[in-house]
Amino acid sequence: MNDLMFNKNKNIIKQIAAERIEILFNEAQKMHYKNSELSKKYIKNMKMISSHYKVKIPKDIKKNICRKCNNILIPGYNSSIRIASSKGYIIKKCLSCGNELHIFYKNKLKKIK
């Protein structure tokens, strides 16, 4: 009985943490144009919540954050995008720190066919 309540509470806590991660990312996107330092703080808080409660950051959010400087990658504003078609991945480059994020797509195309 006690273990069942513990697991239920644990699942609720993880669900709340996942909601907070999404809220913080949305707020960071809104604040990025006004105050980029506050936006970076939101991203750091999001990562801290993720690691503390052992909740994964969704891939669609993770692909839009620079790992090095915690900037939100907005194409044309603070990042550039290139397609390496021969290698099968997209390169997102942060213009603030120069870090590159590689997103593979070639294997996904093979699965679709």
Asked if residue 44 and residue 1 are part of one domain, the reply reads yes
Write the DSSP assignment of the chain as a string of letters.
-HHHHHHHHHHHHHHHHHHHHHHHHHHHHHHTTT-HHHHHHHHHHHHHHHHHHT-PPPHHHHTTB-TTT--B--BTTTEEEEEETTTTEEEEEETTT--EEEEE-HHHHHHH-
pLDDT, tens digit, 9 for 90 and up, residues 45-57: 999 999 999 999 9
Asked if residue 88 and residue 44 are part of one domain, the reply reads no
User: Domain total for the chain?
Assistant: 2
Asked if residue 37 and residue 51 are part of one domain, the reply reads yes
Residue 112 structural domain: 68-113
pTM: 0.81
pLDDT, tens digit, 9 for 90 and up, residues 76-103: 899 999 998 888 889 999 999 999 999 8
Instruction: Tell which residue, 94, 69, 70, has the closest CA to residue 81.
Output: 94
Q: What is the CATH number of the domain that holds 11?
A: 1.20.5.420
Asked if residue 105 and residue 77 are part of one domain, the reply reads yes
Asked if residue 33 and residue 12 are part of one domain, the reply reads yes
Under the banding of pLDDT at 50, 70 and 90, the label for residue 5 is low
